Every structure is written in C-alpha cells, then in structure tokens.
Structure 1
C-alpha cells in the first residue's frame, strides 16, 4: 500500500520537536519544542501555529486537561497551563535533588498521566517512570531507566508499552486498567534484532503510538523512518521513510478519522556529537496519509 508524506511545517521546532498530541476538542495538534521550552498548537485547516513559552526549564510533554487547559512536564514538575492567561501552576514534583527532568508523557484510558524522567546528561539507569492519578497523587512505577521515552497501550488495555531508548528496547507490562498497576516487564522489541533498524547510526526507538489493530508505530531516532511493528512477534511489518529527515522523534494519530500519522523531528541537541549532520527537513513536522489504518482518540488528563 502506498503512503504519502507531507512536510506540514518546516522548522516546526528549533531544538527537539516532541510529544505530538491530537486534540479532538479543537481539532488541532499540540507538540513541544523541548529545549526552547515552548508548547505549540498547529491548526491544519488554517495552517496557523500558536505557542506558549514556559519559563524556567525544558518542557518534556503536553496533554490536554479534561477540565480545561493543558498539563505539561516542566523540568521536574507536572504543571497545569492556561492557554489564554499563560498561567502556569505546579501540580507535583518528582526526583527532587537529582539531575533528572521529565521527558515523554501520555494518558491512559482512565485519564491518568504517565511520564518518565531522564538524567540531563543521559547518565545510565537514573530515569524513573511515574504515574499521576486523577486525584493528583504521583506514584513511582519503575526505575533504573536511561532515556524514558514513548508509551502506548494495547486496544484491550491489558498491556502497556514503554520505550527505553538507550538499550534500543520496547518493554511490555501487564496492565491493570482499574488500578493503574503494572507488572511483569519484558522486552517485546529489540532494535538490535531487526536488521532494517539496527544500523550503526540508529540511536533507537523514541516516541510511539498504537493503531486499532494493536500494532506499534515507533519513531526511529537517527533512522529517518517510523516502524510499524507487531508486538507479539517483534516483527517489522512496515517501514515508513521520512524523506530528507533523519532525527525522527515521535508520532501520533490525528485528523477527524484518526487516520493521519503526525511525525515530529529533532533539529538541535546538546549532545550533537552523537548525531549525524542535520538533514534538510530535520526539525520539521510531517503528516503521513494512506497508511490503511488508524488509531484511537488520544486520552486527556482527567484530574
């Protein structure tokens, strides 16, 4: 099946474009520019892009909040953001006294907010995985991670998937939707075992989503592509190449029918020696159509 890749925003991010989230309420795409500290909102109908600058630290992720506004990861803090007034309010803090910061984040089907932390210099085994419940209580769910990244859930909500980029692995946990508990972590995808994704320059899996069939769609950092993977077998089903871009960071389903795959990318990174020369489209926002599948609507934080 043929697919079409469009560059919908050239230079969408000046540093690390990440955390795309399709907001059904406004039919717009949210994403962040991590090192710049900006939260962007893109309207595909008008082509207009608005943004809010969050002062004081890097912004790791953004999700809408059911009661209005947004929730973002700002440094070590979960914060609420009022788009109209620009007011930012701390909700909770994690990993105080460490060199960690929040990275990727996403909500489960009950509206809990999950997010991982990483060491700012990417020191190994310093990261953790947290869940902020709808009552505001934050619980540590896993630890000894290096680059906490993409997360997703199976259509039946019995499995949670999570990425640690450094070992190039996608983990699965048994997931209890009623309690939010995770258990029995195992590796379901190792990029080192997939020849098409195991090249010397491919850093590894980054952001991730699932389709309604339960397949994983994984952004391949330094791989210039998005990989469709069957999680039970770890088999690569499809490789969606993004022309003239190498540093692919994350993906989400969007559009009225949730059949358009939005793809973010990275333009600048503080440890740039680990990355090849920038391709002409790195830092852009892409949209892929004609994939013949779709995702479920993205969940919002219900706290």
Structure 2
C-alpha cells in the first residue's frame, strides 16, 4: 500500500512528544527549546500554541482528571487547562544538570520518562556525554522511582498490547531495548536489544528517537538525522518498512485520526533551514494500511 505524506503544521523549532487525544481529535506536541506546547485540531486544521515560560517542555499528556502533565526541564508540572495556562509543580525528578526527554504513560496510568545531559539540540553522537541519563517512572502520587541509570539519551518508549513487554530507546548507543514488564508492580527486568542502529542492519538510519507500536505489535521508530520512520519487527530486529521525509531530523511519531490509521510525525529545524524548508514541520502520513492504539492518559 502506498503512503501519502503531507505537512499539516509548520511552526516548530524542535517538535517532539506527539500525543493523540481521540475524544477531541486533537494532537498535542511540544516545541522543546521555546517551551511551547501545541494543539493541532485535525477537524479544523488549526494549530494553536501555549507558551509556558522559560523552562523546556518535552512532553504534554492529558490527565484523567483534566488538564495535562508536562515536563519542564527536570521537573514534572500540571497544566491546569489549555485555556488557563496555569502550571503547578507535581514532582522533581532530577538535578538541573540534566533534562527530562521523552516519556509516555503505561496502561495503569503511570508516567515513564527518560532523561539526558542538557545539550543544545545539536546532537554529536561521538562526543555526547555518556551514561548521564536515566529512566524513571512517576506514580500518580508524585513519587519518583529510578529504574535505569546507565542511559545516555533516554528516548522513545511503548508497550506490547498485552503489557508484558516495554520497549525503550537509548539514542546515542543506537539501542532499541525490550524489557519484561510487570504492570502491577511498575517494574522492568531482563533487558535485551531489539535493534542496534549502529549496526549495518539499518543503513542510513541516524539514531533512534521517538517510538510507537501498532496493533500488529510492530515498532515505528523515528530516525533522528536519518530522515525517516522505520517499522521494526521486535522479534527479528529487522526493518520491514521505511517512510522517508523531506528533512533529516525526524523526532517522534504516534498514530491518530478517527480510526488510528494516520501517523503523525514531528521534526526539528537545523540552523541551515533554507536547505531543508520542511524541517520543523508536523507531518501526517496516510495510506499505511496499519493502525495504532489509543494512547494512555496520566492518572495523577
């Protein structure tokens, strides 16, 4: 089946963290270094933004009790509502030397979040400080638990349909990991590598960034500096599909639309924007012939 790629919004410096809200048919995402959160309404085509001050946002996820959970540098805050713009502190996760990066909510309503060294967005794979990041979960009462401390850039994550496996990307070593997942305890174990982006198995792929899982259990991984999203078979680690984009810095992806068959993809703009005019766009991919699942919302 042949896919179609279109630009639905183009006003980001560093687009990240897309989350589809099916009840409103809206996509929420962030512009990291400007600390803007965005809401793209797929019905009206309007893309609105809300600035949250000087700190850096990397995710925005709806809460079950209303409002949103948002990261701001090394903190977790609650955005009361889109209209109010009011934020209140919820949890302090790390010291200010690091920043929180990509995150997602599991089926029990816990937030999982990776961290990394506080860089400037210009990814130097060979010289980036190693092992300064971690993987945490933030429970509904604001308590924080560290699960991994040997991560360089904690990035995209998702779960298998039966919640028995958690997938997680560490960008700099190029690893897509899988863990046994205990949803009751909120625990991971038995780390293994699903795919190694530093190998020759995935040519011209950049580094693994954001991730989502389709209803067939296959992984869709955004390739930063690779200009693509690849569909991976987690059983073999092989690429079974590639979707190319007209810019190199693809950051994340999620499924949306009325039947979750549209793939929304975020990107970032390099300094030489004139050479890549589509960089920083929010893309929508249709005609993939697969579908995703409803995203989880934060129970805190």
Q: TM-score of the superposition, structure 1-length normalised?
A: 0.92
Q: How many residues align?
A: 291
CA positional deviation for 1:193: 2.9
- Give the whole-Å Cα distance in 1 for the aligned partners of 2:203 and 2:275: 20
Q: What displacement does 1:137 show?
A: 1.4
Work out which of the residue numbers 278, 282, 299 in structure 2 matches 1:281: 278
Question: Which residue in 2 is equivalent to 1:86?
Answer: 85
How do 1:51-90 and structure 2 match up within 5 A?
51-82=49-80, 83-90=82-89
Find the aligned partners of 1:277 and 1:99 in 2 and give their Cα distance.
33
- Cα RMSD between the aligned structures? 1.5
SS for the counterpart of 1:129 is: strand
What is the correspondence of 1:183-262 to structure 2 with a 5 Å cutoff?
A: 183-195=189-201, 197-199=202-204, 202-242=205-245, 244-262=246-264
Tell me the SS of whatever aligns to 1:35: helix
**Aligned twin of 1:158:** 164
Question: 1:187, CA displacement in angstroms?
Answer: 0.9
Identify if the C-alpha distance between structure 1 residues 245 and 59 changes in structure 2 by more than 3 Å, giving closer, same or farther: same
Secondary structure at the counterpart of residue 141 of structure 1 = strand
Residue 43 in 1 paired to residue 41 in 2?
yes
8 Å contact kept, 2:156–2:168: yes
Cα–Cα, structure 1 residues 277 and 206, in superposed 2: closer, same or farther, change >3 Å? farther
User: What is the alpha-carbon distance in structure 2 between the residues aligned to residue 119 and residue 54 of structure 1?
Assistant: 22
2:139 is aligned with 1:133: yes
Q: Which runs of 5+ in 2 are unaligned?
A: 120-127
Matches within 5 A, 1:163-178: 163-178=169-184
Work out whether residues 34 and 54 of structure 2, in 8 Å CA contact, stay in contact via their aligned partners in 1. Answer: no
* Structure 1 moving runs of 4+ over 6 Å: none
Residue deviations 1:167-194 (CA, integer Å, cap 9, x gap): 1110111100111100111111111334
Q: Structure 1: any 5+ residue segments left out of the alignment? A: none
Distance change in 2, residues 1:3/1:119 (3 Å):
same
Q: For 2:173 and 2:218, how far apart are their aligned partners in 1?
A: 21
For residue 144 of structure 1, what is the aligned residue in structure 2?
A: 150
Give how far 1:278 is off: 4.8
The TM-score with structure 2 as length reference comes to 0.93
